[in-house]
């Protein structure tokens, strides 16, 4: 069953403004996009959303699938009026890939950040789901956030690290675990050549979760996709390299215009 996603809208309400939808990572809420909705809302209508099981969105019983998460996002797009420019990071990037395959006419452009078409072997994700259901998201918050930022940024911004750990800890145990199960079953590699929307792929050079090779594999398989590698940059490159990410998304949206699919 599709759920209505919690979201916020920033920027102009006029029909002529491009709409940019932002979908975030496992263990985050929509505030992870603050560097984007603060900077880009002067020009774009920015809709940032919480995935099911995260932030203010409903927490239906698991397990979840990437298809179900994609249906939720498609419901949001339909409710707000499409087509839109869609950007997703990590789990949000997998969901965005699925949206692009299932409903290409709903999209004008696609931006995939720090994500993968397959997130490694399933068992570690299933083990993490079990651990979170037993001990809570707080038990893994520190190790998760350690992958989000480079050591240099983490050392210089302890308040950012603290806020990020609080964000992970505040995520519903069941929502987080069920999304781990969705990741464990996700394999979108065969569908990448079917993505027909203008696609930008962004990697963080120091991302230990979904490194440049994972993003290069996506860019190589999606027809016409462009790849950018940001250095320094770990898993939340949209935070660490906010200015660069904002500039890349802005340029990509403008180049894509209203053309959408190729």
Residue 82 pLDDT more than 90? Answer: no
CA distance 240 to 254: 23
Average pLDDT, the chain: 96
Q: Which residues of 215-247 are buried (b: 16+ CB within 10 A; e: fewer)?
A: bebbbebbeebebbbbeebbbbbbbbbbebbbe
Residues 6+ apart with CB under 8 A from 182: 63, 64, 65, 66, 68, 69, 91
- Span 95-145, pLDDT tens digits: 999 999 999 999 999 999 999 999 999 999 999 999 999 999 999 999 999
Task: Return the CATH class of domain 7-121+187-258.
Answer: alpha beta
In 3D space, the residue among 70, 75, 82 whose CA is nearest the CA of residue 45 turns out to be 82
Give this prediction's pTM: 0.96
Whether residue 83 has a cis bond before it, omega within 30° of 0: yes
For residue 46, the SS3 value is strand
- Span 133-180, pLDDT tens digits: 999 999 999 999 999 999 999 999 999 999 999 999 999 999 999 999
Q: What is the residue extent of each domain of the chain?
A: 7-121+187-258
In 3D space, the residue among 211, 216, 219, 199 whose CA is nearest the CA of residue 237 turns out to be 211
Residue 91 pLDDT more than 70? Answer: yes
């Amino acid at each position: 069953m599709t759920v209505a996603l919690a979201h916020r809208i920033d920027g102009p309400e006029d029909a002529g403004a491009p709409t940019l939808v932002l979908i975030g990572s496992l263990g985050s809420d929509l505030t992870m996009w603050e560097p984007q909705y603060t900077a880009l809302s002067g020009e774009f209508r920015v809709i940032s959303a919480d995935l099911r099981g995260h932030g203010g969105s409903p927490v239906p019983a698991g397990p979840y699938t990437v298809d179900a998460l994609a249906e939720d996002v498609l419901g949001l797009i339909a409710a707000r009026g499409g087509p839109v420019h869609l950007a997703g990071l990590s789990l949000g990037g997998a969901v965005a890939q699925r949206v692009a395959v299932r409903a290409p006419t709903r999209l004008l452009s696609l931006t995939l950040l720090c994500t993968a078409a397959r997130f490694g072997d399933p068992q570690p994700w299933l083990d993490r789901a079990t651990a979170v259901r037993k001990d809570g998201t707080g038990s893994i918050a520190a190790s998760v956030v350690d992958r989000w930022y480079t050591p240099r940024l983490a050392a210089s911004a302890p308040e950012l690290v603290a806020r990020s750990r609080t964000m992970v800890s505040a995520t519903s145990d069941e929502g987080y675990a069920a999304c781990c199960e969705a990741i464990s079953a996700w394999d979108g590699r065969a569908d990448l050549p079917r993505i027909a929307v203008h696609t930008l792929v962004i990697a963080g050079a120091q991302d230990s979760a979904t490194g440049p090779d994972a993003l290069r594999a996506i860019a190589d398989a999606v027809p016409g996709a462009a790849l950018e590698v940001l250095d320094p940059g770990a898993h939340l490159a949209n935070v660490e390299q906010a200015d660069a990410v904002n500039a890349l998304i802005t340029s990509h949206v403008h180049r894509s215009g209203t053309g959408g699919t190729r």
